[in-house]
């Protein structure tokens, strides 16, 4: 098996057609067919069923799909690390939920660039499922998230509690009416939200990330829960206000990384992250 066969398999699966995959890969259709046939011989199983509508994955093809994505990610990371310019001694792939990239993690990256200038950094945004999968597969070194899963060979460390507050352009809008945007911050938030608002029914509006919830209420009015840290600039600018007498909800934040064989550069990056969080919390306490 070579990487061209893996890329071809993924292209056919995505396009649902050998012809469309050939166009995307800039090769002939016969080349696509030959690569898929070679894979099928190696596995001893058919990966696609071809018909007039195109090409559909078989059950074996569905099972290989996840592995093919991981193989491609591993290949790309290996190519990135092996091909590093001589001025870099190592590389790190760091991922997190988008809300954590707002103010907090860019400062972490700034510290790493200052104190580890000979380390190449690859930064990514993702949801828990993808971030966990990448760490488990070894294609991501460190991931920050709100709802991690336990897995063999993976360390999950608590970092801090994100404080979620209810904001909107009108501080007196206390009821969660149809202008309220429910942001899916995960199961911990859901449980707290249900406890605080036991009679709350299915929302008229929902968003899967806080950034989207903010954009909706900034444009259309209404309210949503966002991290106090993220809301700070909007509150200072006067475009949003905290809803009067609204509750604060706590959302634990975790860092996930391999528990065994982690390179020293990962430990150094984690140390810088924890030092940054301690400094931020100390500064917040002093300001209060």
Give the per-residue pLDDT at 259: 83
- pLDDT at 288 > cutoff 70: no
Domains of the chain (ranges, CATH numbers) = 3-80 (1.10.10.10), 90-160+253-287 (3.40.190.10), 161-251 (3.40.190.10)
Give the per-residue pLDDT at 285: 55
CA distance readout (Å), 182 to 60, 85, 177, 201: 39, 46, 11, 11
Give pTM, 2 decimals: 0.71
pLDDT in tens, 5-37: 999 999 999 999 999 999 989 899 999 999 999
What does the pLDDT average to over 149-168? 92
What does the pLDDT average to over 125-151? 90
Give the per-residue pLDDT at 206: 95
Place of tokens 């949503």: 224
pLDDT in tens, 80-124: 666 665 676 788 899 999 999 998 999 999 999 999 999 989 999
Torsion of CA 227, 231, 232, 238, to 10 degrees: -160
- pLDDT at 287 > cutoff 60: no
3-state secondary structure the chain: CCHHHHHHHHHHHHHCCHHHHHHHHCCCHHHHHHHHHHHHHHHCCCCEEEECCEEEECHHHHHHHHHHHHHHHHHHHHHHHHCCCCCCCEEEEEEECHHHHCCHHHHHHHHHHHHCCCEEEEEEECCHHHHHHHHHHCCCCEEEECCCCCCCCEEEEEEEEEEEEEEECCCCCCCCCCCEEEECCCHHHHHHHHHHCCCCCCCCEEECCHHHHHHHHHHHCCEEEEEHHHHHHHHHHCCCEECCCCCCEEEEEEEEEECCCCCHHHHHHHHHHHHHHHHHHHHHHHHC
- pLDDT at 133 > cutoff 60: yes
Give the per-residue pLDDT at 152: 84
CA distance 69 to 74: 9
pLDDT in tens, 114-129: 999 999 899 999 999 9
pLDDT in tens, 221-274: 999 999 999 999 999 999 999 999 999 999 999 999 988 766 789 999 999 999
pLDDT in tens, 45-88: 999 998 887 899 999 999 999 888 888 877 777 766 666 656 76
Residues 6+ apart with CB under 8 A from 32: 8, 11, 12, 18, 21, 22, 25
Give the per-residue pLDDT at 201: 83
């Amino acid at each position: 098996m070579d990487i061209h066969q893996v890329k071809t398999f993924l292209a056919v699966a995505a396009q649902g057609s050998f012809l469309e995959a050939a166009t995307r890969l800039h090769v002939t259709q016969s080349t696509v067919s030959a690569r898929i046939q070679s894979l099928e011989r190696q596995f001893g199983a058919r990966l696609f069923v071809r018909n007039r509508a195109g090409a559909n994955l078989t059950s074996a093809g569905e099972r290989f799909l996840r592995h093919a994505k991981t193989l491609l990610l591993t290949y790309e990371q290996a190519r990135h690390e092996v091909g590093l310019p001589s001025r870099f001694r190592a590389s790190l792939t760091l991922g997190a939920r988008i809300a954590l990239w707002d103010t907090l993690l860019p400062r972490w990256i700034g510290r790493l660039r200052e104190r580890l200038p000979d380390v190449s950094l690859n930064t990514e945004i993702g949801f828990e499922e993808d971030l966990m999968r990448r760490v488990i597969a070894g294609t991501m070194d460190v991931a920050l998230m709100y709802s991690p899963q336990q897995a063999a060979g993976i360390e999950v460390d608590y970092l801090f509690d994100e404080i979620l507050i209810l904001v909107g352009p009108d501080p007196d809008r206390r009821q969660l009416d149809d202008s309220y945007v429910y942001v899916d911050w995960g199961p911990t938030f859901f449980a707290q939200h249900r406890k605080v608002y036991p009679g709350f029914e299915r929302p008229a509006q929902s968003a899967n990330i806080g950034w989207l919830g903010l954009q909706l209420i900034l444009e259309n009015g209404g309210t949503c829960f966002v991290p106090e840290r993220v809301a700070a600039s909007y509150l200072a600018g006067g475009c949003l206000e905290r809803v009067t007498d609204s509750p604060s909800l706590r959302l634990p934040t975790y860092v996930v990384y391999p528990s065994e064989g982690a390179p020293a550069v990962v430990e150094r990056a984690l140390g810088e992250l924890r030092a940054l969080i301690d400094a931020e919390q100390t500064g917040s306490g002093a300001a209060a």
